[in-house]
DNA sequence: CTCGATAATGAGAGTGATTCTCATTTAGGG
DNA sequence: CCCTAAATGAGAATCACTCTCATTATCGAG
């Protein structure tokens, strides 16, 4: 009952995403509507990470007229069928990214310029599963974000200030 | 310029927290007011993790009349001087916990009952710093939460459903 | 102890992302 | 082609949190 089943095959155009989406809709008794098709096109045609608002703007740019309600509803479906994943790095809005055809990864967030870099660490994954097991938890997913200052920002006054305060300008939030 | 400097000494009553708080206020030219004193008392007198709303309720229970504005302002100061840390597990509200006198730890979150368990893994910490360094980031803090189902919930229908769906009942958010 | 500059407070308005409501429209199986 | 269930759009509603601002309190200097 998993839909992103052929992760082995790597990027192969958005065809697969559409197929997975359609299969999921069918399985749930949902309908493939025009707005959903348009959103799918916009989302998988390129930008692999975005916020709901950025997607909304993009719709307007391309003269695709879709309400925010529909946009959010569609994003929810896409995360449910695991074509997208939603992340919350403590900023204003959630951050969505493609899942299909991408390896699992965690994130480094620059507290000065908010740049986000992906990284992988199989060793960390292993230790996490181990920790969960030790405490009787069946791990389902996890979220690891390292907040710091990127190389570029470490050169700037802003970046140095953040490092000095050892914190994201007063009151940073983590999880 | 760090205020939670004597982490070595473990729990020793809320005296130390008050001292640290006062030192921080003085250093920043802020004032020790009645509402701040009352909040400090409530926060460090016991419950070591809570949401802003829970704290607000607690105030009303004890007939401590404080506005939400002041409550939030005080929580911000307390996180700034590192007596509290703020976490966002993707739920409704932020989650605050005591820092002074507690070891650093990460969290396991049960997706069925929302229970939160703490755990430590120095090995993971090391690997994290390593990952950050490799990508040119100066790490400042991190956030690791493992979402899963706790032992107790794994016995329930609810828990099993969550595990099966491999997800937090439609649309979970991580970071 | 008294002043006065400056910070803090409370109440409520304001924000901003996300969700809900509901009357109207559409998809798609039979 | 029909009918029912699902989807849509527009705007109202939520909800945690922040801001505004007139009033009050703190605390160091004198």
- pLDDT confidence of A8, banded at 50, 70, 90? very low
Residue B145 pairs with which residues in a beta bridge? A143, B107
Taking only the tens of pLDDT, chain B with its 175 residues reads: 444 444 444 455 667 899 999 999 999 999 999 999 999 999 998 878 899 999 999 999 999 999 999 999 999 999 999 999 999 887 788 999 999 888 899 999 888 887 889 999 999 999 999 999 999 999 998 999 999 999 999 999 888 888 887 743 444 555 6
Does residue A174 carry a pLDDT above 90?
no
Could A143 and B139 be called an inter-chain contact, meaning their C-beta atoms sit closer than 8 Å?
no
Q: Determine contact, residues B115/B77, Cβ cutoff 8 Å.
A: no
Given this model, what pLDDT does residue A146 score? 94
Q: What percent of chain A has pLDDT over 90?
A: 65
pLDDT, tens digit (0-9, with 9 covering 90-100), for A53-93? 999 999 999 999 999 999 999 999 999 999 999 998 877 88
- pLDDT confidence of A47, banded at 50, 70, 90? confident
> DSSP secondary-structure letter at B155?
G
Given this model, what pLDDT does residue B157 score? 87
Q: Is the CB of B5 under 7 A from strand D?
A: no
Does residue A2 carry a pLDDT above 70?
no
Could A140 and B167 be called an inter-chain contact, meaning their C-beta atoms sit closer than 8 Å?
yes
> Does residue A129 or residue B169 have the better pLDDT?
A129
Q: How many residues does chain B have?
A: 175
Q: Which residues in B lie closer than 8 A to residue A142 (C-beta atoms)? A: 144-147, 174
- Burial of B89 (C-beta count, 10 Å sphere; 0-12/13-18/19+): buried
Go through A46-80 and write b for each residue having 16 or more CB atoms within 10 A of its CB, e for each that does not. eeeebebeebbebbeeeeeebeeeebeebbebbbb
* A12 at B interface, C-beta within 8 A: no
- Burial of A111 (C-beta count, 10 Å sphere; 0-12/13-18/19+): buried
Could A174 and B111 be called an inter-chain contact, meaning their C-beta atoms sit closer than 8 Å?
no
**Residue whose C-alpha is closest to residue A89's, from A157, A175, A2:** A175
Given this model, what pLDDT does residue B12 score? 55
* B144 at A interface, C-beta within 8 A: yes
Mean pLDDT of A32-46: 95
Could B175 and A88 be called an inter-chain contact, meaning their C-beta atoms sit closer than 8 Å?
yes
- B35-44 — which CB contacts under 8 Å span 24+ positions? B35/B66, B35/B70, B35/B74, B36/B74, B36/B77, B38/B64, B38/B66, B39/B64, B39/B66, B39/B70, B39/B71, B39/B74, B40/B14, B40/B74, B40/B78, B41/B14, B43/B78, B43/B84, B43/B98, B44/B14, B44/B17, B44/B18, B44/B83, B44/B98
Residue A98 pairs with which residues in a beta bridge? A84
Q: ipTM for the complex?
A: 0.81
Given this model, what pLDDT does residue B162 score? 85
Rounded CA separation A153/A161 (Å) = 10
Given this model, what pLDDT does residue A101 score? 84
Closest C1' nucleotide to A35's CA: D8
Q: Determine contact, residues A147/B141, Cβ cutoff 8 Å.
A: yes
Task: At B146, give phi and psi (nearest 5°).
Answer: -105, 125
* A107 at B interface, C-beta within 8 A: yes
Mean pLDDT of A108-117: 86
- pLDDT confidence of A113, banded at 50, 70, 90? confident
Given this model, what pLDDT does residue B4 score? 45
* B86 at A interface, C-beta within 8 A: yes
* Cα separation values, A89 from A43, A98, A101, B63, B74, Å: 20, 16, 23, 36, 23
Average pLDDT, chain A: 86
Domain positions in chain A are 15-98, 106-165
Handedness of CA B124, B126, B129, B131 (dihedral sign): negative
- pLDDT confidence of A133, banded at 50, 70, 90? very high
Could B144 and A142 be called an inter-chain contact, meaning their C-beta atoms sit closer than 8 Å?
yes
Please determine, looking at this structure, whether the domain spanning B15-98 carries the CATH number 1.10.10.10.
yes
- Burial of A29 (C-beta count, 10 Å sphere; 0-12/13-18/19+): exposed
Mean pLDDT of A109-129: 90
Given this model, what pLDDT does residue B2 score? 46
Please determine, looking at this structure, whether the domain spanning B106-165 carries the CATH number 3.30.1490.190.
yes
Q: Determine contact, residues B139/B101, Cβ cutoff 8 Å.
A: no
* A167 at B interface, C-beta within 8 A: yes
Q: Which of A79, A138, A168 sits opposite B148 (nearest CB)?
A: A138
Given this model, what pLDDT does residue B64 score? 95
């Amino acid at each position: 009952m998993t839909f992103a089943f052929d992760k082995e095959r790597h990027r192969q155009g958005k065809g697969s995403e559409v197929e997975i989406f359609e299969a999921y809709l069918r399985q749930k008794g949902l309908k493939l509507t025009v707005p959903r098709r348009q959103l799918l096109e916009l989302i998988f045609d390129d930008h692999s990470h975005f916020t709901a608002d950025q997607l909304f703007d993009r719709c307007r740019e391309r003269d695709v007229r879709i309400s925010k309600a529909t946009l959010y509803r569609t994003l929810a479906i896409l995360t449910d069928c695991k074509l997208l994943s939603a992340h919350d790095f403590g900023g204003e809005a959630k951050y969505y990214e493609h899942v299909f055809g991408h390896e699992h990864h965690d994130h480094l967030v620059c507290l000065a310029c908010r740049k986000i870099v992906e990284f992988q660490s199989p060793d960390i994954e292993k230790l996490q599963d181990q920790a969960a097991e030790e405490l009787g938890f069946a791990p389902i997913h996890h979220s690891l974000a390292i907040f710091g200052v990127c190389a570029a920002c470490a050169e700037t006054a802003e970046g140095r200030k953040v490092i000095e305060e050892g914190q994201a300008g007063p009151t940073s939030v983590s999880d």
